[in-house]
């Protein structure tokens, strides 16, 4: 489950990517996408830390 503030932040990041794409600014779109990916990686790391610490399998495949 994603909290509302995190979901709102993700939505804003995606909106920035769409805006950059609409304006033809590929560099800005890539920067926005890289920022979004970094944020998602942080959320995922936080989400999986507790189960992993207690040897509880996470309910999805996580690429190495």
Give the model confidence (pLDDT) of 17-59 as tens digits.
Answer: 999 999 999 999 999 999 999 989 998 898 899 899 999 998 8
The answer to whether 43 and 2 are in contact (CB under 8 A) is yes
pLDDT confidence tier of residue 3, bands split at 50, 70 and 90: confident
Residue 63 has a pLDDT of: 80
pLDDT of residue 4: 87
pLDDT of residue 56: 93
Residues 12, 30: Cα–Cα separation, whole Å: 15
The pTM of the whole model exceeds 0.85: no
Task: Report how far residue 26's alpha carbon sits from residue 44's, in angstroms, rounded to the nearest whole number.
Answer: 26
């Amino acid at each position: 489950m994603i909290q509302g503030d995190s979901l709102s932040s993700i939505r804003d990041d995606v909106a920035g990517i769409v805006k950059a794409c609409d304006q033809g600014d590929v560099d800005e779109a890539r920067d926005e996408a890289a920022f979004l990916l970094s944020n998602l990686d942080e959320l995922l790391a936080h989400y999986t830390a507790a189960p992993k610490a207690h040897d509880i399998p996470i309910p999805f495949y996580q690429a190495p």
